A = this chain, B = another copy of it.
Amino acid sequence: MSQSLSSSIEDYLEAILALTESGEPVRVTDVAKKLGIAKPSVTEAVRTLRDRGLVTQKPYGRIFLTAEGLMQSARVRKRHVVLRTFLQDVLGVNEEQAEIDACRIEHVVSTETMDKIVAFLEQDQTAGQQF
C-alpha cells in the first residue's frame, strides 16, 4: 500500500497541507496559484490524489486531506524543513537558495540519508531546532 509518490504529487500534497493550515477552505485555484501552474493541472492531480485516498473532494468542491494524506504531507514537509535547515545552518547556503534546493532534494533523497541528516543536526549546536 501507499506506493511511492512522484515529485509532483508530493508538491501538491505539500501545498495542500500549507493551505489547509491557513484555516481557509482549500480550492483548486489556491493550489494552482501556490504552485504557479494552471488550474486544469490541479484538477487532474487532485483526481490522482483522490484515487490514492490522500484527499477528498466532491465535484466543484473544496479539497480536504484524509488522515493518510495528512500523514504523507507531513512526512514530505518534515523532509523539506530538515533539508532547508541543514543547508542553511550547516552549509551556510542562503535562505532563498536553501529553500529552492530543499524543494528539489526532498523528492529524491533516501530515508537513510534523511536520518543521517537529522542525527547530524541533533549533535550540532549551530542548528537550534530539534527534530
Contacts and interface: CB of A to CB of B under 8 A. Distances in A.
B113 A87 contact: yes
Interface string A89-121: 011111001101100110111101100110010
A117 B100 contact: no
Nearest to A108: B104
Interface hub of A87, A101, A113, A117 (most chain B Cβ within 10 A): A113
A43 B117 CA distance: 39
B120 A109 contact: no
B112 A94 contact: yes
A116 B104 contact: no
Nearest to A98: B113
A101 B109 contact: yes
A105 B109 contact: yes
5 contacts: A87-B113, A90-B120, A98-B113, A100-B110, A105-B109
